[in-house]
Amino acid sequence: MRISRYWKAAVAGAAAGTAALGTAVQNGTLTTGEGVTVVLAVLGALGLTWAVPNRKPADSA
């Protein structure tokens, strides 16, 4: 199965954003600092995951 680097990055960004947002709203409110943290988590996951190349598939014999 071949997954493009764009889908890999999008899924990683969504997972990081969901986790950060879930943690941020535990007390029922979302502060500016927590919002910035969510945005940085999404951007960091997108950038780092997109930058790492996919591993070449092993040849099946």
- Check residues 50 and 3 and name the one with the higher pLDDT: 50
**Rounded Cα–Cα distance for residues 32 and 29 (Å):** 10
Rounded Cα distance between 54 and 8, Å, is: 9
Would you state the pLDDT for residue 7?
87
Mean pLDDT of 1-25: 88
The arithmetic mean of pLDDT across residues 18-34, rounded, is: 93
Question: Domain map of the chain by residue range?
Answer: 5-51
- The reported pTM is 0.78
**Tens digit of each residue's pLDDT (9 = 90 or more) over 36-61:** 999 999 999 999 988 887 777 777 65
